[in-house]
Amino acid sequence: MEQIILVVHLLVALAIIGLIMLQQGKGADMGASFGSGASQTLFGSSGSGNVLTKATGWLVVLFFASSFGLALLATQKSAVVNELDLDIPVAAEVAVPEQELPVIEEDLPAVIAPEGDLPELDQ
């Protein structure tokens, strides 16, 4: 169904473009009112605006209807973000000791630097 509406939507859009390109601007009617070129037009001096304008209007209505239909189909297809089938691991609880353990200085290694490596400080 979506493919059919999409094809109709594109064909209507191309038809609207074609009809707009066929229509003449307001300045072209001024020359037709003085008699120049009125007999050479396909629809007469005033008929071309009515037929092409009405056809363009109906195609625009069809274009908006197909746009609305495509928007409805797109909203029905959209999925909720939470439904991605991803397992979220539960955070493990860490046991916190009730009191701090004292640090015994005997357990710390003694650091002895050779005498020649340290710079002497001037006081």
If one counts every other C-beta atom within 10 angstroms of the C-beta of residue 28, the result is 14
Average pLDDT over all residues of the chain: 75
Q: How confident is the model at residue 36 (pLDDT cuts 50, 70, 90)?
A: low
113 within domain boundaries: no
Domain assignment present for residue 72? The answer is: yes
- Report if residue 4 sits inside a domain: yes
| Residue 71 confidence (pLDDT) above 60 | yes
The Cα–Cα gap between 92 and 95 comes to 10
Domain span at residue 64 reads 1-17+47-78
Flag whether the pTM goes above 0.75. no
Is pLDDT at 18 greater than 70 in this prediction?
yes
In a domain? residue 85: no
In a domain? residue 114: no
Name the CA dihedral angle for 33, 36, 38, 41, rounded to a multiple of 10 degrees. -130
Residue 101 within a domain: no
* Number of domains within the chain: 1
